[in-house]
Structure 1
Amino acid sequence: MSDKTREVLLDVQGLKKYFPIQSSKGKDVLKAVDNVSFHIHRGETFGLVGESGCGKSTTGRSIVRLYDVTDGRIQFGGQDLAKMNERQLKPFRKRMQTIFQDPYSSLNPGMNVLQIISEPMGIHNIGSKAEIKERALDLLNRVGLKPEHAERYPHEFSGGQRQRISIARALSVNPEFILCDEPLSALDVSVQAQVVNMLEDLQEELGLTYLFIAHDLSMVRHISNRIGVMYRGKLVEVAPSEELYRHPAHPYTKSLLGAIPVPDPTVRQQMPPLYVEAARPQDEEPEWFEVSPGHWVSGYRDQL
């Protein structure tokens, strides 16, 4: 099925998230996310990459409305979430869940695993007490844990196990869309591949749609169908995963990919030059170009 005929589950248009700050000029704003637009098809994984501070996590958290939005549209299932209040958002909280970066701080240390996984189902009135417990135990099994783990507390688990608990909690309300906000960065390398494989299996089994945010470009390549690259709050390139890695078009994307370590001690790696965007007049906006089918890049003609 081509992209043109696949259903778009999430359509983000002109998303902005500004934070008020104090500067030498007095009150100012930090443009953490500045006019970002992209879409995600139902059942696909859209990867979002960039260096620390580029705005990728703020983009994700704005989409699921953990942050209020400064401007823009967030069309999810045909409805705009951007200006909804908390009461209006509640039905969508069930359809959109999040797996956070740190599986320790995102789990309540005063609750055992059964309570942690059951809590979202109770909030959304999903099933009786017995049905909730049964589903929680089933989810534990699905993410590779055992029934006896249900009565234990987060501090009794390894980082990888805690992230599995976080995944089970996210799945508890049968979501359609999951924001994976750097879910691997706090895990050992040996555990990362296990978690990625599990996420892929769950996606195929349950028809899930992911926004996968990460700075590990090799892992994003493995799990993503398409990838967006962010730089200083803006989206600068979007392409199918393999196309982006083989034929990067934006200078910043080339810098990111060139910095990936080569796992061969006999290879002398040449580090790419650091990309720094040239100063431009404030009223001069970059253009979007389609350099090949489905491969879009933002920039100025004299730079590309």
Structure 2
Amino acid sequence: MTKSQQKLIEVNNLKKYFPLKSSIISKNKQVVKAVDDISFHIYKGETFGLVGESGCGKSTLGRTINRLYDPTSGEILFDGKDIANLSNKELQPYRKRMQMIFQDPYSSLNPYMSVEEIIDEPLEIHTSLSKNERKGIMVDILEKVGLKKEDLEKYPHEFSGGQRQRIGIARALSINPEFILCDEAISALDVSIQAQVINMLEDLQSEMKLTYLFVAHDLSMVRHISDRIGVMYLGKLVEISNSDELYHKPLHPYTQALLSAIPIPDPIKAQNSKREIITGELPSPIEMETGCRFRSRCPFAKPICAEVDPKLKQVDGEHFVACHLY
């Protein structure tokens, strides 16, 4: 269920293109349209899940919203303020309010810094607290993520993968942000550890009134943590819906195929279940043709799909789909 009807993040016609270097063969300037004209919003206090195949642009979308990437065009409204074109100096107050948990808990932590130095860095940059005051916050936040005060003196290599991710979460939470981008935050962890980290994130969200953008490819885990889910395909959002409704009533053929790929733990049910297998050629992310980008792999493609790019349209309540079938 949506926690609030007040929008914290609102994205309007956001684009992020990456230019490619021209070669001897082709001197035309080409671009990869990683995020191509996307619009959606995230309510305060909710978890918005973002799913899709690897390379669909979901991580790029999240990092552009957090302004780790400069957008090519479009609006990024954070609490009503457009931050899309702000300079680094103007972004400083928003850096404190928007944090990120990275995919790889080892490469995101400086191996030459102790846990205390890692967590203290954002506190030193964004607050005017004394060293003792910062130390008190660090001890408190470590306890919240399941670590101990003694761990402050240790270095990243002394911890397991799950513990390192907890350090990354502690760093993100140390300055009390409002919005956190979880970019594949559990994909590098063992399955048993994933559940622990997800439960911890849910507890912290309730306690600290956090808003999450949860980027992942594990559809079953996204369903567990998300209030609403957006499905991405080659730089486009093709469906947005409440979590339960998306899983019980997927509309877009791509969403149906993704959900069909979720493993079924019962071998008998798995054998008798009908699988929607995606076939056909994957379009080039560089030379995008007109029309629907999924049409070359869609079993329901019609002539209009090759001519007109479908736009997200409201089907029912919070359910939106970009497909000519609706």
- The answer for unaligned runs of 5 or more in structure 2 is 281-293, 297-303
Q: Is 1:274 the counterpart of 2:298 in the alignment?
A: no
Q: Is the 2:53–2:233 contact (alpha carbons within 8 Å) kept by the matching residues of 1?
A: yes
User: Distance in 2 between the 1:297 and 1:273 partners?
Assistant: 20
| Alignment length (residue pairs) | 301
- The structural deviation recorded for 1:2 is 7.4
Q: Is the 2:2–2:43 contact (alpha carbons within 8 Å) kept by the matching residues of 1?
A: no
> 2:242 maps to which residue?
240
User: Distance in 2 between the 1:95 and 1:16 partners?
Assistant: 23
Comparing 15-24 with 226-235, greater Cα deviation is found at: 15-24
Aligned residue identity for 2:254: Y
Matches for 1:1-304 after TM superposition, within 5 Å: 6-22=5-21, 25-26=26-27, 27-267=29-269, 268=271, 269-274=273-278, 277-278=294-295, 284-301=308-325, 304=326
User: Distance in 1 between the 2:141 and 2:279 partners?
Assistant: 44
Aligned residue identity for 2:13: G
Between the aligned residues of both structures, percent identity stands at 60
Q: Is the 1:19–1:31 contact (alpha carbons within 8 Å) kept by the matching residues of 2?
A: yes
SS at match of 1:287: coil
Aligned residue identity for 2:131: K
- The structural deviation recorded for 1:166 is 0.5
* Cα RMSD, aligned residues only: 1.7
User: Distance in 2 between the 1:299 and 1:97 partners?
Assistant: 34
- The structural deviation recorded for 1:282 is 7.9
Which structure has more strand as a fraction of its residues?
A: 1
User: Distance in 2 between the 1:60 and 1:275 partners?
Assistant: 28
TM-score, normalising length from structure 2? 0.89
User: Distance in 1 between the 2:229 and 2:2 partners?
Assistant: 17
- The structural deviation recorded for 1:127 is 1.1
Aligned residue identity for 2:295: A
User: Distance in 2 between the 1:126 and 1:162 partners?
Assistant: 27
- The answer for unaligned runs of 5 or more in structure 1 is none
